[in-house]
Structure 1
Amino acid sequence: MDGFEDRVAVITGGASGIGHAIGLALADAGAHVVVADIDTKLAKQTAQEIAGRGVRSLAVETDVAERDSVEALATRAYEEFGAVHLLFNNAGVAMHGSLAEMSEQDWQWVLSVNLWGQVHGVRAFLPRIREQIRRDGGDAHIVNTASLNGVVARNNAHGVYTASKYAVVGYSFVLREELAAEGIGVSVLCPSMMDTGLPTAGRNRQQRFGGPLTQPPMPIPPRREPADPAIMAPRILAGVLDNRRFIFTHPDTRSVVEEYHAELLADYDALDKALEPGYGVVS
């Protein structure tokens, strides 16, 4: 993708946090933005803020865990703009606590938003984007928001969230390979800690998943200050322009990924030892 001028972007979870910052950065680059969010009031405020930068904007109440809601979002976006060039599947939720403590409803809620929300987004928009490219030419790009937790798993009391984000990374990798020849790029966004509404996302938990959460916000690790999403948004858009497979946001997390991959390679070394004749049960 060679630029954002007059492109149309749809951002789920677009009313706050990373989605809000991406929307403003896209508006500054000349793109029109559909702000999709379960929080209707906040979505309208964000859409007004974006429109104040001289582009068109639309707020659409969207529950990404509901297929029909995302289909309605796609219909509304195409009715209003006639095309969608950028799809940011960004809506996400999180819980903290041990895996043994998580209820089935907890699992269903996190996976329904973090994984199925992205599947619903792709299923709703991809057929329309394909038809749009066949008709008008051009290209498009999909960004699925995962997390550094989807690359490096750690015992940080976010097990359900981590499982959902690992699924997003795998889903995005395969989708990227499937769409590469069609002019549709796919990136997986893996941010580290940011100042977003994620720690209090439980306030909007739907009744079918048990209703709003009463647990306190997720704790912030010591000596870590959440980054301002507005600072990170240009880095994210640069990754889109470069069609990066991964889009990272925090350079200081590189060492964490390197350490994790060193652990993987160490286990391969252990496999080599296990395959030696006479070692353990292998003969």
Structure 2
Amino acid sequence: MFANLPLTALRTFESAARLSSFKAAAEELAVTPTAVSHQIRSLESWLGVPLFERLPRSVRLTACGQRLFDSLHGALLDVTQTLDQLRPQRSAGNLTLTTTPAFAALWLIPRLGRFYAEYPEINLRLDASTGLVDLHQDASVDLAIRYGIETYPSLHSQCLLNECFAVYGSPALVTGLGDAIPTLITLRWRSSGLYALGWQAWCAAAGTEHWLNEAPQREYDEEHYALQAAIGGQGLVLASSILVSESVASGLLVQYRPEINVPGAGYSMLCVPGRERHPPVKAFFGWLAREVG
């Protein structure tokens, strides 16, 4: 049934497709770039369709190539996991997750103790970075939790949390504010327009548009810095209902004008199609779904 499958060529193709480079695939497989090119051309000839577009400094999958990669990558992950389970001294499950520093510090890490208690055999490595990881090319990363309104049609995705934005301050500040104009604690986001529009929408709903021009402002680069400033009584902060949840639950922050909030974006958990079947990934998907449920 499988006697005629070009297994070496398929393994070479998976590496080149994942890395978008024949040279990088050659380094990973410990062969020459010429050998990689030969295997790819052999596979294309066997199939009768082109799998890559050859660009000046890289390669790009054709529609047929993408279809083959989506199937092959998941299949190889399944085989790798089965082989690992069959070894007498099986290695512990490893899981690498990338997300933003703010989501990691303010929402995920306070809850991870429950994950470790449920799955003590899984070693979780957390990569907290604002850089965007290409999951198709970086096979060392299993999962990404991303924020925004974008969709990712080439990835397996699960919507985790939808947020709204509201204004928060320390209990003492909110209680004593009255009609005074507060200091506004703001963020300098890379997508700064989204946050600025949030303040405008909130102030419009609250009838406090004059704050935008009259209120003193303190600006921070990261959400957790802004929340710490608000906890310290330095002003009011417009914050994500998701990222502020632990501070509110512990009584460090309270919502100002709780009847007013504005829509935000959301967080999604993503992986390369097929990897969601890998047991550590499947376990984390399930745990996180229960955690937010």
TM-score range with shorter-chain normalisation?
Answer: under 0.3
Q: Which structure features the higher share of helix residues?
A: 1
Pick the structure with more strand per residue.
2
TM-score (norm. length: structure 1): 0.28
TM-score (ref. length: structure 2): 0.27
Structure having greater relative contact order (Cα 8 Å, sep ≥ 6): 2
